Structure 1
Amino acid sequence: MPATPAWPPRSAPRLFVVPELAEGAMVTLEGNPAHYLARVMRVAAGDTVILCDDITGEWAAEVAYAGKRHVEVRVIRQMRGREHVPDFWLCPALIKRDRFYMVLEKATELGAARIVPVITRRSVVDKLNLERAQTVVVEAAEQCARTALPDLAAPAPLDRLLRDWPAGRLLFFADEQGGAPVGDALRESEMAAILVGPEGGFDDAERAAIRQLPQARPISLGPSILRAETAALAATALFMALAGDWRG
């Protein structure tokens, strides 16, 4: 007798949705999500999709209707609760669009709780399309089966970021002029943030302002001069390994 196929199938499309989900609820998908399901994945009535709401977690649902403009799905049962996310903020300086989108994508995959884009004097970019950036974040979470989305903030000038910095949160900043070994520093706190500069690094005035912040801790990311996007993602991965959810 053949084995009963697993349900829901691993190949089922995954989507984040806005309404809070509950067993038996009917959800109407329109716009890009409906286009993705109906035109790209070509779902039909009876097919399975996986929905996440960034509140309750992950749910299996069944397509009730798939039309050209909207798709209706019925929520069947919860599969996982919303995952625990380490209390880690990534504060990367704005860099060229495609490279910054890669930072957003990979930081989401790695599990950052909050991403705060920063505008510095040497930033070659001072604007961010937040709608597109949020789409990058959502698609990254869907692709790697996360059940939580990072909070994506609007870009903030460095001076404002420092002025409004919360008292109880350490701010590790990658200082190309040197600092504590990153492996030692990141074990200091499980509620922290990492600040990474742009391609040209922080200027002297910015570096002095950061160091004046009581919560600031300069760190070194090793002997090599890393690109801005490499430094941001390497620091995020190190935090997850040393103080985050990679410890098991």
Structure 2
Amino acid sequence: MPATPAWPPKSAPRLFVAETLHAGTRLTIDGPQAHYLARVMRVSPGNPVVLCDDVTGEWAARVTEAGKRSVALECIELLRERETVPDIWLCPALIKKDRFDLVLEKATELGVARIVPVVTRRCVADKLNPERARAIVTEAAEQCARTALPELAAPVKLAALLADWPVDRTLYFADENGGVPLVEAVAGADRPRTGFLIGPEGGFDDQERAAIRALPQAVPISLGPRILRAETAALAALAIWMAQAGDWRDREGPRNPGEE
């Protein structure tokens, strides 16, 4: 006999929603999400949709009504509970919009728990569109099958970030003047409370570097012999930490999309 097709299929659309979901929850999607479901994915009654609420986890839902401006759905069953997220913060200095978009997207894919944009003296930007940033983060989480969204903080000045930095959280900062190789700095760490501070295109100035180094929780690190762009440094640091101290060490976990 032929195998019973998986339900919902891997091709089912994925969306994050604001409502907390339960079996039997009925909700109506409108706006851009409705446009995506109705006009792009062309869903019809009975079609499956995968929903995440960033609270309970990932749910299989079924379309009950599909209109031009709204789509009605009913939650059927819980597929996965919300993922456990390593306690890692990324604090990247604001850089040019397209490059910062890349940081938001890829940091979400890599599994960061919190993103805190930082304003430094050499930043070429000092503002961030919160709605646009949240949309980038959400879309990235949907595309890579995350069940949790990173917290996205409002931009903060470097001095304020340092003044409020938790006493029990390590702050690794990429110092172009040199520091401990990151692989060595995190070797043997067991998923500590951690943050990464990455400077802008021009790096930190001398006063900023001195202020960071004066913080007891700060650890200057090196990301190798080559000069990295700000966005590359942020993502390289996250990847190294995830491999050495984060959840990339887990032997079991959710499969990658499309993986059998």
TM-score, normalization by structure 1: 0.99
Q: Distance in 2 between matches of 1:117 and 1:79?
A: 33
Deviation at 1:3, TM superposition (A): 2.4
Matched with 1:159 is: 159
Matched with 1:129 is: 129
Matched with 1:80 is: 80
Deviation at 1:181, TM superposition (A): 1.1
Matched with 2:225 is: 223
Matched with 2:258 is: none
Q: Distance in 2 between matches of 1:247 and 1:2?
A: 37
Deviation at 1:245, TM superposition (A): 0.4
Deviations 1:4-51 (A, max 9, x none): 211110100000000000001101111111111011111000000000
Structure 2: tracts of 5 or more residues without a match:
251-260
Matched with 2:6 is: 6
The more displaced of 186-195 and 138-147 is 186-195
Matched with 2:35 is: 35
Residue 3 of structure 2 aligns to which amino acid in structure 1?
A
What secondary structure, in the 3-state scheme, does the structure 1 residue paired with 2:71 have? strand
Matched with 1:201 is: 203
Structure 1: tracts of 5 or more residues without a match:
none
Matched with 1:59 is: 59
Deviation at 1:2, TM superposition (A): 2.8
Deviations 1:105-145 (A, max 9, x none): 00000000000000000000101001000000000000000
Deviations 1:174-228 (A, max 9, x none): 0010001110112346110010000000000000000000100000000001000
Matched with 1:46 is: 46
Matched with 1:243 is: 245
Q: What percentage of residue pairs aligned between the two structures are identical?
A: 68
Q: Distance in 2 between matches of 1:219 and 1:2?
A: 56
Matched with 1:192 is: 194
Q: Distance in 1 between matches of 2:168 and 2:105?
A: 27
What secondary structure, in the 3-state scheme, does the structure 1 residue paired with 2:49 have? strand
Matched with 2:71 is: 71
Deviation at 1:158, TM superposition (A): 0.3
Q: Distance in 2 between matches of 1:165 and 1:5?
A: 50
Residue 192 of structure 1 aligns to which amino acid in structure 2?
T
Task: Say what the alpha-carbon RMSD is for the aligned residues.
Answer: 0.8
Deviations 1:136-162 (A, max 9, x none): 000000000000000000000000000
Matched with 1:118 is: 118
What secondary structure, in the 3-state scheme, does the structure 1 residue paired with 2:140 have? helix
Q: Distance in 2 between matches of 1:35 and 1:207?
A: 47
Matched with 2:18 is: 18
What secondary structure, in the 3-state scheme, does the structure 2 residue paired with 1:94 have? coil
Matched with 1:177 is: 177
Q: Distance in 1 between matches of 2:196 and 2:139?
A: 23
Q: Distance in 2 between matches of 1:2 and 1:193?
A: 50
What secondary structure, in the 3-state scheme, does the structure 1 residue paired with 2:176 have? coil
What secondary structure, in the 3-state scheme, does the structure 2 residue paired with 1:75 have? strand
Residue 228 of structure 1 aligns to which amino acid in structure 2?
A
Q: Distance in 2 between matches of 1:98 and 1:39?
A: 27
| Aligned residue-pair number | 248
What secondary structure, in the 3-state scheme, does the structure 1 residue paired with 2:61 have? strand
